Amino acid sequence: MDFRVDELARRLFESMPPTVRNMRQDLEANFRAILQANLARLELLARDEFTAQTKVLERTRARLEAVERHLAELEAKLEAKVDTPRSN
């Protein structure tokens, strides 16, 4: 993430007029600080974290679907037992 912030700060600096470029170090430091502060508020995450969380979600969804199927089977069995009259 820091690499991208540095790249954005560099691009912002390069887009400035030549007369402003004389304050290069101060501007780059300010750009970097502003970008990092604002990007931190966005709660971004790295691609590998996103991929890992996607896999966890897929496994969780599959387990939930299996539990829902099992619950439906148990409910059907219970319903069948309740509907069947008992012989005395």
Structural domain boundaries in the chain: 1-44, 47-88
| Whole-number average pLDDT of the chain | 84
Can you give the pLDDT at residue 2? Answer: 59
Q: Which residues contact 21 (CB under 8 A, 6 or more apart)?
A: 13, 27
- Residue 27 to residue 21: CA distance in whole angstroms: 8
Can you give the pLDDT at residue 39? Answer: 79
Q: The pTM is what? A: 0.49
Residue 51 has pLDDT above 80, yes or no: yes
